[in-house]
Amino acid sequence: METAAAGARRPPALRLLCPKKSVLSSPFPSLLWLVGSPRFLHPVTVAAALRCLRFLSDDGPFSPDLPHEADEIRGLLVRGFDIVGGLFLGSANFESDAGRALELAGELRERLFGERASHGMVGGCVDASTGDIRFLVSESEGSEVVEGQEVLWGDEPGRSLLEKGCLLRCELQLQLPLYLPSDETMSGIEARFSSLIESAAANLRGPHVSYLVEGPTATFDESHHSVILHGNNLNSVSQLPINPNTNKCSAKIVSCSEFLPTKRHDLSSIRENADAIQITVLSNQSFNISKAASPVPMLKYFPAPAPASLRVIDLKLDILCYSSMDLPVTVAVSELVIPGLADQLSIMKKAIVSELLTQQPQLCPYHLVPPGLLIPLTAIYDTRYGEIEEKQSELRRNLHFRLGLPLDRPLLRTSNALTFGAMERRDRSSSKSSSLLRDVHKEIPSSGVSGGIMSLIDGSYEYYHYLHDGIDDNGWGCAYRSLQTIMSWYRLQQYSSINVPSHREIQQVLVEIGDKDPSFIGSREWIGAIELSFVLDKLLGASCKIINVRSGDELPEKCRELAIHFETQGTPVMIGGGVLAYTLLGVDYNEASGDCAFLILDPHYTGADDLKKIVNGGWCAWKKSVDSKGRSFFLKDKFYNLLLPQRPNMV
């Protein structure tokens, strides 16, 4: 009977939470590493796909350089996520290629964690012509390999991830004393440094180290929970008894869910709301190992070999971990946080060891969730020379390749990093943002174009309009306001860190480049598309394309060109005609019928920043060239210039 039941067992299904395009848009042929969380999610669930970048020979995807791949991926992966498989794109032979992908994924996983996977692994192939995925599954090391049944794409994957788990974050500043004898060889210095790092990692479980576990900053209606865990009690905590008949909150059995607020954000919105359980490492140097009644102060003396010089190695560790909600926090610290800190120490050791006798790298970890990715990743940057330094740019470019991100926009800069806790978000908001409304077009009704295809702005912007900033520019400042909205787009997409310029600063730029006389500063003189292009070039180095239209009647003829702009560049467009200027955020265009509508953000609004009032009043709305009552939005007897700012090609 048991044999019959086993024989009738359905083949496993492959669940992909990552967006379909992140898998199928990769170049053919190629190899993807599949990332999941087999400890906390359903087996054979994929949360992200990473491209393999390092290869040994001309065989390409079939011969990856696993040591280099492991070194790079080890720093990226957040503890709690794991390699669960490999996927060949552009496969010719399913049986052999899927088996090879399964084998390679197992080898990579072993290099990452020092042991073969005890969880299920998957190897698959994507047909280059159809995009169909076939896969093999091994439920554990040495188990039978079977072909999977179906591929399931996740519904609301960000929410699914958070319902299953949560984030833990631990920061640790270390100053490690490294004594360098004058006659020491380079290999001896490297050995000393390695021993120092290994000792620091071992001390994470020592008797003098404790871990303060706290929830995110408490709100007025929620309690703030915390416990302290001692390092020497964190060696064997995987199997902890839980007594269902008691409500006592033991540090050993309290789950991660106890530290989190009732109202939580799904991982798809983590870029704005990153809540994590905070882990603080405490040092208790007066801890008495002999368990005497009172602590005994201790003094340690470390004689340095003479003659020798002292070099202090400054390290800033910052790790994230992903855990299930019901995992005991003691287990989470022991099996996720401490190994994560040790891993980051090892990664930093490799980056520092070659420069021990020169200028020490200033390594700083940043946690990022770029668009299209559902899980956080960690990038360790050397901040000595800033983000425009060539080596840093090359590192970000490689990360863009690995994550399948576009190469014409900065998605992995330090300003894109997550912030944690309400206080940090307030600090960031006050220094990098403002009280201006953002993305007001997301609340407006549909355009009314039947069968049209919408092409919209890509990214966030701030709504600048008349009377902002205490400046009475009613009747003359609409183009200035459109320029400010465009500038805010570049700033919010991290292409620039300069402040959005005021009217006077815009005028000063035009005087400095020789376009206007000095008397222009402080005036109420209008500007148009040409002047805007000069300012964008001067302040941002951004180029612009300008379309000239002789009459408002001709603007619908430019819809196809505008649609291409929004699909490829995604920047706001300024429309200037006669005495009026508008900001264009998108078009809805039916190519067959020619019917179209323009998504207009009107800078002539003079009221308060009330989103409902702005939307209901039509200050941000779809406008047709001629509405249902025969009224023309764009004037027939006026020419129009359209300014199309270009997206800088940079990472």
Query: What would the two tokens of residue 404 be?
Result: 């399948």
The dihedral over CA atoms of 279, 367, 112, 215, expressed in degrees to the nearest 10, equals: 20
Task: Check residue 619 and report its DSSP letter.
Answer: S
Q: Could you say which of 559, 596, 602, 620 is catalytic?
A: 602
Q: Annotated catalytic residue: which of 170, 478, 544, 559?
A: 478
**Widest CA span in the chain:** 96
Helix (H, G, I), strand (E, B), or coil: what is residue 292? coil
Q: Is the dihedral of CA 422, 424, 430, 434 positive or negative?
A: negative
Residue 604 a catalytic site member: yes
402 burial via Cβ count (<10 Å: 0-12, 13-18, 19+): buried
Q: Residue for token digits 């005497």?
A: 292
The rounded distance, in Å, linking the Cα atoms of 517 and 523 is 11
Strand boundaries in 307-459, DSSP class E: 308-324, 363-368, 377-382, 453-456
Q: Is the C-alpha dihedral spanning 107, 109, 113, 116 positive or negative?
A: negative
Instruction: Give me the phi and psi of 487, to 5 degrees please.
Output: -60, -40
User: Is residue 434 within 8 Å of 441, Cβ to Cβ?
Assistant: no
**Known active-site residue 478:** yes
**What gap in Å lies between CA 84 and CA 46, rounded to an integer?**
7
CB atoms closer than 10 angstroms to residue 552:
21
3-state secondary structure of 171: strand
Place of tokens 């200028």: 359
CA angle, residues 406, 408, 412, in degrees to nearest 5: 70
Query: Is 588 an active-site residue?
Result: no
Strands 121-126, 573-577: pairing is unpaired
Whether cis (ω within 30° of 0) applies to the bond prior to 307 is yes
Contacts of 531 (CB under 8 A, 6+ apart): 479, 510, 515
Catalytic residue (one of 65, 127, 604, 609)? 604
Catalytic residue set:
478, 602, 604
